[in-house]
Every structure is written in C-alpha cells, then in structure tokens.
Amino acid sequence: MSSTPFVVVGLGNPGPKYARTLHNLGFHVVDELARRWKATAFSEKFKGEFVKVTSPPCAPGRDVILFKPQTYMNLSGDAVQPLCAFFKIDVATDLVILVDDLDTPKGTLRLRLSGGTGGHNGLLSVGDRLGTDAYPRLRLGIGRHPHMAADQYVLSQIPKADDSVYLNQTLEAAEAVELCLTQGVSKAMNTVNVRKTTP
C-alpha cells in the first residue's frame, strides 16, 4: 500500500463566471468525488482549492487529495507542480488530471497514461511545469462546435439541452477515478475506454 497520497486534479477556471462552462468539467468531477466521499470543506493551499480524504470507500487506508487549481487554466501547472513536489508524488502512477477535450466525442471519456496536450493550455502548463507528459489524464469529451471557434466554445456555458449529458459524464468520470484507485490506471483503462455514456 502506497504511503503517498493519490492526487486527483480537476482543471478549470475560478469564479462563478466560469462555473458552468465546458472548460470547467474537471472541477465538476472533483466536486462530485468530494460529495460522494463526504469530504470536509476545501481550503486554499498550493494556489488552489485542496482537500485530503482519508480512506475513501473505494480505497480504504489510502489518502486521496482532491484539487482544483485557482490560477486560471493557462497557469494550471503553477499549482499542480508545487503540490506534487510537496507530497513527493510519482506523477506516472499517483496522479490523474481531469480535463475537457475537444477531440473526444461529447459526453464520452478517454483515460490515458500519457500523451500530448491536444492544444489544451491547461495540459500544456501542467506538462511544462512537471517536466513530463507521462502522467495519467481522464479526457472529458465535449466534441467540437460546428461553427464556434475552439477558444470561444470551451468558455461557453453548458447548454441546458446538454445538462443530462454532462451530468452523466460527471458521474461516470467519478466512477472512473474510483477505478483508478482500486485497479490502477492501466487496468481502469480497459473498462473506462469501452464505455459509451448516454444521457
């Protein structure tokens, strides 16, 4: 059993203006995990909102850190790197980044052990500050808008018509994180990447 915590980071932008935007789906999953694990209130640490959960139901005996950087998306690494350094996290095995993804179909999930940024500025910042792209990430698919530019689309509000799609995605993403804790990311991929989320 690892003595270091497992770190779950949801990427997003701080403040009510961005709360319901597609770019903040990572925050939504962290909040869902905090709810289901009955976490205490988040506190301000490491330039983000931080809470440590001891022995969540899916991982008895393990500490899990839930974290939402408050640096704005493009500087996410400025929060993630100090946190990982402080707790001596092996980012290849004990970290998962939750991130919206234009190139994954809307409502679906893709779990990866490593990879490129796909043009995502949050992942670009995290990889730059960690000095590696070899860290797991759970991509929360939003697809691409047929008419809207990507930078406008990711900062747009979730349409009411898609509420059920993204709620379901949030719940399945929380379950995917729990699988990462119980099985390890490699095995969890076998389950997560074949699921089809439905409204």
Strand 63-69: give its sheet, edge to edge. Answer: 43-45, 48-54, 63-69, 6-10, 95-101, 137-141, 109-112
| Domain extents in the chain | 6-192
Contact indicator for 168, 198 with CB cutoff of 8 Å:
yes
Residue appearing with tokens 């792209």: 133
Say what the pLDDT of residue 46 is: 97
Q: What is the pLDDT of residue 196?
A: 58
User: Which one from 23, 28, 145, 147 is the annotated catalytic residue?
Assistant: 23
6-192 has which CATH code? Answer: 3.40.50.1470
pLDDT of residue 199: 44
pLDDT tens, N- to C-terminus, the chain (199 residues):
567 999 999 999 999 999 999 999 999 999 999 999 999 999 999 999 999 999 999 999 999 999 999 999 999 999 999 999 999 999 999 999 999 999 999 999 999 999 988 889 999 999 999 999 999 999 999 999 999 999 999 999 999 999 999 999 999 999 999 999 999 999 999 999 986 554 4
Report the 3 state secondary structure along the chain: CCCCCEEEEECCCCCHHHCCEHHHHHHHHHHHHHHHCCCCCCEEECCEEEEEEECCCCCCCCEEEEEEECCCHHHCHHHHHHHHHHCCCCCCCCEEEEEEECCCCCCCEEEECCCCCCCCHHHHHHHHHHCCCCCCEEEEECCCCCCCCHHHHHCCECCHHHHHHHHHHHHHHHHHHHHHHHHCHHHHHHHHCCCCCCC
Does the annotation mark 23 as catalytic? yes
